[in-house]
Amino acid sequence: MRVALIGLGRMGRVHARNLAGRCRSAELAAVADADAGMAEAAGAEFDVPWTTDSGALLDDPTVDAVAVATPTAAHADLVVRAARAGKHVFCEKPIALDRPATVRAVEAVAATGVRFQIGFHRRHDPDWVAATRRIHAGEMGEPYLFRTSLRDMKPPPVEFLAGSGGFFVDMTIHDLDTARWMVGEVVEVAAYGTALADPAIGEIGDLDTALVVLRFESGALGVIDNSRAAGYGYECSTEVMGRSATVRIDRPQHRHYQWLTPDGATYGINRDFEERYPLAYAEEMEAFARCVRDGTEPAVTGLDALAAFDLATAADLAWRTGRAVPVVPERRDGGVVYSFAGQA
C-alpha cells in the first residue's frame, strides 16, 4: 500500500520514518507540507516526491492512502477531501477542534466506505494490548478502578497550545480513549485543573495540570492525572484493579538497565513519547495497512475518536463550571457517541 504523508511536524516525521523503513505492509509514496523547506528536506531524506499542495497527492492515482499529521485545524477538511477522492485515511487525533467538523469527517468516511483509522497509539502498544486482551477475556473479573497518568517533561510552545483545542482535547483525550477501551463506557465526568507550573499557559485560558474523575456505566471508577510540565521526564502509566487481579503498565525506563552503586540505583527515564512508544507508532501504521489490505475495521475508528472527543469536551465543561457532568452513551452504527447538557 502506497501512503502519502501530509504534515511534517513532529508526529509527521515519526510516521514518515515508519512508512519509509519500519512498516512491512506499506511504503511512503510522497510527502506534503505547507512549508516548502520542510517538504523538500523530507523528500530528500526519504527519497520520495514532495509538494506543498496536498490536493496533488489526493488526486494522484498511484496513492492508495493518506496519513494526516497536520495541525489539528486542518484535519477534518483533509479527511473529507481524501475520503471523497477514494483514499483510505489515517488521521492523528483529534479529528477536529469542534464537534460539527468531527461529525462531518466521520460521516464523509462512512459515505465513501474507505478505511479510517485514528492515531490513538496505545491501542497498538504491546503492553496495553496484552493487558486489555486479558481484561476483556474476564481474567480479572469485573474491573472496579481505573487509574492512569500521562505527564510530559515540559510543555510545548504557547503558540502551539493556543490552537490545540485545549488541555482535555489535546492531551487527556488519549486517556479517555484508553479508559473506554479497557473498562467501558462512561456516565459521569468531573475535572479539576490549574496552570501553576507555567503561568503563561494560564494566560491563554488553558491548563498545564489536570485531574479527571470518571464514573463508568458498570459502576467502576476512574482517575486520570495529566501534566504538561512534570520536569523529570515523560511518564505514561495505567493500572486497572478487578475482583481477582490487577494489571499495572508502567515502563519509565528509556533503556532497560540500572546503574547500581553503594549510593543507590539510577536508570535513564524516558524524556518524551517518541522514546516510550517506538513500537506502538510503527505497529499502528502497520495495522492501518493490514485493515486496508484485508478489508477489516481498524482497531480505533472515527466513532471512537468522536466518543473520546465528546468525553474531552465534557471534562472541559466540568472544569469550567466546577460541576460533574453526567454523560449519556448512545450506541449506534457500530460505535458509541455521547450527549450531555451544555454540549457544544
- One domain, residues 178 and 310: yes
Binning pLDDT at 50, 70 and 90, where does residue 254 land?
low
The pLDDT of residue 255: 55
d(CA 236, CA 226): 9
- One domain, residues 161 and 309: yes
The pLDDT of residue 252: 58
Binning pLDDT at 50, 70 and 90, where does residue 264 land?
confident
Binning pLDDT at 50, 70 and 90, where does residue 61 land?
very high
**Is it the case that residue 189 has pLDDT exceeding 70?**
yes
- One domain, residues 50 and 82: yes
What average pLDDT does range 173-184 have in this prediction?
98
- One domain, residues 101 and 26: yes
The pLDDT of residue 147: 98
**Is it the case that residue 289 has pLDDT exceeding 90?**
yes
Q: Look at residues 91, 114, 137 and tell me which one is the last residue of a structural domain.
A: 114
**Is it the case that residue 68 has pLDDT exceeding 70?**
yes
Structural domain count, the chain: 2
CB–CB of 269/232 below 8 Å? Answer: yes
143 φ/ψ angles, rounded to the nearest 5 degrees: -65, 140
Half-sphere exposure of 273 (CA within 13 A, CB side): 18
**Is it the case that residue 41 has pLDDT exceeding 60?**
yes
The pLDDT of residue 265: 67
Q: Which domain holds residue 96?
A: 2-114
CB–CB of 208/198 below 8 Å? Answer: yes
- One domain, residues 134 and 41: no
What CATH number has the domain bearing residue 15? 3.40.50.720
The pLDDT of residue 333: 79
Q: How much helix, strand and coil, in percent to the nearest 5, is found in the chain? A: 40, 25, 35
The predicted-structure confidence for 120-167, as pLDDT tens digits, reads as follows: 999 999 899 999 999 999 999 999 999 999 999 999 999 999 999 999
> Which residue shows C-alpha cell 547500581?
260
**Is it the case that residue 220 has pLDDT exceeding 80?**
yes
- One domain, residues 57 and 173: no
Reference 27, options 3, 61, 58; nearest CA is 3
* Positions of E strands within 152-302: 186-194, 209-216, 221-227, 235-242, 246-250, 259-261, 264-266
**Is it the case that residue 179 has pLDDT exceeding 60?**
yes
Q: How far apart are the first and last CA of the chain?
A: 38
The pLDDT of residue 58: 98
224 φ/ψ angles, rounded to the nearest 5 degrees: -120, 125
The pLDDT of residue 40: 98
DSSP 127-159: HHHHHHHHHHTTTT-SEEEEEEEEE-SSPPPHH
What CATH number has the domain bearing residue 220? 3.30.360.10
The pLDDT of residue 267: 64
Q: What is the mean pLDDT of the chain?
A: 94
The pLDDT of residue 272: 62
Binning pLDDT at 50, 70 and 90, where does residue 259 land?
low
Q: What percent of the chain has pLDDT over 70?
A: 93
- One domain, residues 138 and 109: no
The predicted-structure confidence for 8-28, as pLDDT tens digits, reads as follows: 998 999 999 999 988 899 999
- One domain, residues 241 and 309: yes
84 φ/ψ angles, rounded to the nearest 5 degrees: -70, -25
d(CA 152, CA 185): 26
The pLDDT of residue 261: 62
In a domain, 309, yes or no: yes
Torsion, Cα 168 217 237 251, to 10 degrees, reads -140
Binning pLDDT at 50, 70 and 90, where does residue 6 land?
very high
- One domain, residues 60 and 138: no
- One domain, residues 169 and 107: no
Higher pLDDT, 259 or 230: 230
- One domain, residues 130 and 219: yes
Q: What percent of the chain has pLDDT over 90?
A: 86
> Which residue shows C-alpha cell 485543573?
193
- One domain, residues 146 and 201: yes
Q: Look at residues 114, 147, 165 and tell me which one is the last residue of a structural domain.
A: 114
